[in-house]
């Protein structure tokens, strides 16, 4: 586990039909334990769980929650705002390396899939 470190990761919306240049006003900043190859370490997450927070920023609106490891191995951002559990599922987060320039997808609470680019990865 000495090779795993808690990192702060920023994702910005990648380009799509509505945003041909992507958007730095839509995305996520979250903390997760990454191994030396940039993959989320599920065992280390158990130790760092309380520190694995997420900030979703979307055109001036913000939501705060946690990165959760679900049964079966998938990952999601869970928000506990107004007593509701909204979740956004990371598509194959366990298989993706979180390194700048890589792309990941997230399915929002309405079921829509969007692609994001990893902008920064820093020590948390």
How high is the pLDDT of residue 1?
Answer: 42
Where are the chain's structural domains?
A: 5-123
Instruction: Report the phi/psi class of residue 61: left, alpha or beta, with left for phi > 0 and alpha for psi in -120 to 50.
Output: beta
pLDDT digits (tens, 9 = 90+) for 43-92: 999 999 999 999 999 999 999 999 999 888 899 999 874 545 668 889 98
Give CA–CA dist 90/105, Å, rounded: 6
How high is the pLDDT of residue 87?
Answer: 85
How high is the pLDDT of residue 84?
Answer: 57
Which pTM was predicted? 0.91
């Amino acid at each position: 586990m000495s090779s795993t470190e808690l990192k702060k990761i920023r994702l910005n919306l990648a380009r799509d039909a509505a945003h041909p240049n992507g958007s730095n006003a839509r995305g996520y900043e979250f903390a997760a334990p990454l191994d030396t190859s940039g993959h989320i370490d599920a065992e280390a997450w158990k130790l760092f769980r309380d520190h694995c927070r997420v900030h979703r920023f979307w055109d001036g609106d913000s939501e705060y929650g946690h990165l959760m490891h679900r049964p079966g191995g998938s990952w999601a951002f869970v928000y506990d705002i107004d007593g509701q559990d909204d979740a956004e599922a990371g598509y194959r987060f366990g298989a993706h390396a979180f390194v700048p320039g890589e792309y990941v997808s997230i399915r929002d609470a309405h079921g829509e899939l969007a692609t994001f680019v990893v902008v920064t990865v820093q020590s948390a």
